[in-house]
Structure 1
């Protein structure tokens, strides 16, 4: 069977596109996802995030050795499940800063300024608290206030206040500055992934076909036009209108290169016949690197004890009966935005308060319970790459975020970590915090901090930029997200961001897909 639209990648963007494009009953839509269905309860329980960075629903990839960080390799969680990142992330609903999008416009991306994209953020939302200029109700995506905060969260706000950092009730609203509770992509205390929120209501449509567990080997190009996708072990499926690539900031450039679209000399060296020489495919990789401080608590002030089997059972029962307690928590629903550089144009540091220790892969657990404060520098200058290790579609790609290539990133990251330490040392947290354990008192000099980072840094899971949107001929896609140099192929995911936004990226990816759906309908004669 042929289709009008083939969407490759059933992640945060792909599910949105499949739902929106199939609203037209005349449009035959095929959604292809390499991962499986999201049946496991961990995909739906808010606290399931703690299992995700340890391998459930992901490809199991790592970065290449980071040459500016003493050769460290970082586990690089990329989703391999329907719903993509929205099925495995910490459900934090942030949008970046308004100036991020105005900067996109200044870079030549007309139609992508803040006022242009704000209606699409609102269109997506079903917000349980706000219906105003910044937020909407009635959209597919559940956006909710946290249901399981702890007293230590309020003490954290007070501690930040002692350093002059204000409380902010809505960090996705008028201003980003300050600390507060993040809104979460949840509805009725369950994860609201794009698989649940968008694809769920659309699944019964006769014009929508959703296939999971399908590996796309390459995009098929004939006479300068993308005409379909070759499925591993199956053959070719064809699209009469468009092939839409939505495999994420790692997966999209990877598949383009496997299809002969990328830097021609590198592809030839791997034995791949170049279809389109496009050096920027897989370039411009940006990501937020995360440093953390962990303090041991004076008592059971976080959710650490629920890692033990009998407490875990109690937590599960509490959630089933009351929709509250540790299972109702994403464990990182408290945080904020502030400044490493006092002269920055908007906050350049993001905090995530972890209600426990050892929550994520590679992070130490405190024997008597702890609290974690993550800090990430939001506007890195370093740029990395996604390249192929071989022509084998099953081989892991070479992911090189090139962290700290620019010394400015290293300086700002360490400033952010020191600020996180200062917050946890304030008097307001004294009843809750016994002592800092990591980095610990022995870490004092800049060299000490660098060595600590090279042993403990992790990704914030926000890769972007590898199929850059722009008005210039060197950009991978134009401002309507159409691949330059080939017809019939569009890219819709975080890879098109010209610059990484100053926050978690999932809400931005959903916005991009909502806007792209309108563009696609307009380009093919449909109503917006």
Structure 2
């Protein structure tokens, strides 16, 4: 632990997750910039972090996960959900399912239409490419030589191929690149992995530069608040090793703590809805009504099917086959231990009139009650479906000035008629797929939701009773130009100088897919904007 009393940094980045690692790397590339990166969790030394299938060991594990829970949600029959969020170097990119999906060009074009200049798809594509080291090589949509390894699956299964063929039989075309010219279709995911090992944001962006003399990385550092004087961020107060430290920034403080903790840190710093801050006993520095609002997440409804043939369940529950799985990985970096959270994706439209897909499937040749739990002892497979563009909006609320007390999470799932309609349509399509050749030959019985679920009301009730998060919270420090925006299109906190937010919380609307790749893109683009603004003197907030 360095003595921070006599050190001033150009940039302090709070949160070493997907965006924060990219920020720390790019901002410290200029040796003249002193950069401090603070992470509340430990170093990424836990071996299961680096094994792709290790998310079964890292989710719900307090060693690597904040282990958050939502409030009881009316839209889910009053259930409270576990919300895994990475608490380790690499953040959620160190515990996620490794799935590389960017979303649709229309997502980003919509951001631009909402007033976020510079965020249309043509604007953000160069940053996706700059981040990427695509195994297949460079083209109009992909880059090589970037920090983030993107690779093909190293294992395929007959049942996964059958899903792709069944989708084609229903008019959903095969798609070998969901991040290319079009997203719609069925095919195998690509993973953020290299040579059978996870490529987290920490592995990609920090490991190659950790010895830079101008980059300080401090783990186990719980930030209490941003220090603000005369409406300017001057540094942060954080706790590490049982001691409070104050770090000063004569440039900028950038919050990259994610959709839960970035709005929480703003609120702890006195920036947020004034009435709520007052109720929480927090002194109001700047009444900014949008902080913590606009929470969005993808809700997944899972279907489980008993299978006529052995699945990964059988292999994991057989000690000899399980040993073979381990040896395959240790000796050859192949086999089931190289798998991400899902193998096959299907992007489809809930109704033909739509311009782009609005539902996404995640297909797994295994089944369990939830990630982190053991696999079932019978052969089965899982298909989950989520609505890509939910209309429901929740909120993150800070309820105490104590930084160790987590914020309250109100997801507000399925609170609009459209969201309820689309989740039912997705569940019905899931059943149709399993009734279609050649996939139907693999199906012995539908276990979840089960054959008794027949009407729209039945499907909706099942979703309300069983659906869960697919781990994509976003939107709680929304970028925009309206009165409820938290950051402007340069990601500067409105009304406070020297303070930005750069992570999934700035998304005005949730992207149509998994959120790790977009969060990394946000870190890349934010770095470029910060350096550009510094060079031109445009560092004041709007």
- 1:5-154 map, 5 Å: 5-55=11-61, 57-154=64-161
- 1:119-518 map, 5 Å: 119-232=126-239, 233-307=243-317, 309-358=319-368, 360-361=370-371, 365-518=375-528
Q: Any unmatched runs of 5+ in structure 2? A: 1-6, 538-542
SS of equivalent to 2:109: helix
Query: How far apart in 2 are the matches of 1:364 and 1:433?
Result: 22
Deviation at 1:397? Answer: 1.2
SS of equivalent to 2:83: coil
- What stretches of structure 1 move > 4 A for 4+ residues in a row? 307-310, 362-365
SS of equivalent to 1:123: helix
**Matched-pair contact (CA < 8 Å) for 1:357–1:363:** no
Deviation at 1:86? Answer: 1.1
Query: Judging changes above 3 Å, is the alpha-carbon distance between structure 1 residues 308 and 231 closer, same or farther for their aligned structure 2 residues?
Result: farther
Query: How far apart in 2 are the matches of 1:63 and 1:231?
Result: 26
SS of equivalent to 1:524: helix
Query: Judging changes above 3 Å, is the alpha-carbon distance between structure 1 residues 436 and 366 closer, same or farther for their aligned structure 2 residues?
Result: farther
**Matched-pair contact (CA < 8 Å) for 2:391–2:418:** yes
Deviation at 1:169? Answer: 1.0
Query: How far apart in 2 are the matches of 1:363 and 1:167?
Result: 32
Query: How far apart in 2 are the matches of 1:17 and 1:519?
Result: 11
Deviation at 1:307? Answer: 4.7
Encode CA deviations 1:141-175: one digit per residue, 9 max, x unaligned.
00001001111111111111121111001111000
Q: Which moved more, 1:396-405 or 1:448-457?
A: 448-457
* Superposition TM-score, scaled by structure 1 size: 0.97
* Superposition TM-score, scaled by structure 2 size: 0.94
Deviation at 1:404? Answer: 1.0
Query: How far apart in 2 are the matches of 1:354 and 1:207?
Result: 44
Q: Which moved more, 1:277-286 or 1:442-451?
A: 442-451
Query: How far apart in 1 are the matches of 2:318 and 2:18?
Result: 32
Encode CA deviations 1:9-47: one digit per residue, 9 max, x unaligned.
010000000011110001000000001111112111111
Encode CA deviations 1:426-468: one digit per residue, 9 max, x unaligned.
2202332211111111112233222321221110111111001
Deviation at 1:309? Answer: 5.0
**Matched-pair contact (CA < 8 Å) for 1:150–1:302:** no
Query: Judging changes above 3 Å, is the alpha-carbon distance between structure 1 residues 485 and 9 closer, same or farther for their aligned structure 2 residues?
Result: same
SS of equivalent to 1:144: strand
Q: Any unmatched runs of 5+ in structure 1? A: none
Deviation at 1:301? Answer: 3.1
Query: Judging changes above 3 Å, is the alpha-carbon distance between structure 1 residues 310 and 54 closer, same or farther for their aligned structure 2 residues?
Result: farther
Query: How far apart in 1 are the matches of 2:301 and 2:392?
Result: 17
**Matched-pair contact (CA < 8 Å) for 1:303–1:326:** no
Query: Judging changes above 3 Å, is the alpha-carbon distance between structure 1 residues 307 and 36 closer, same or farther for their aligned structure 2 residues?
Result: farther
Deviation at 1:178? Answer: 0.3
SS of equivalent to 2:10: strand
Deviation at 1:420? Answer: 1.2
SS of equivalent to 1:358: coil
Deviation at 1:66? Answer: 0.8
SS of equivalent to 2:510: coil
Deviation at 1:331? Answer: 4.1
Deviation at 1:85? Answer: 1.5
Query: How far apart in 2 are the matches of 1:262 and 1:304?
Result: 51
**Matched-pair contact (CA < 8 Å) for 2:153–2:339:** yes
Query: How far apart in 2 are the matches of 1:8 and 1:90?
Result: 23
Q: Which moved more, 1:54-63 or 1:242-251?
A: 54-63
**Matched-pair contact (CA < 8 Å) for 1:301–1:432:** no
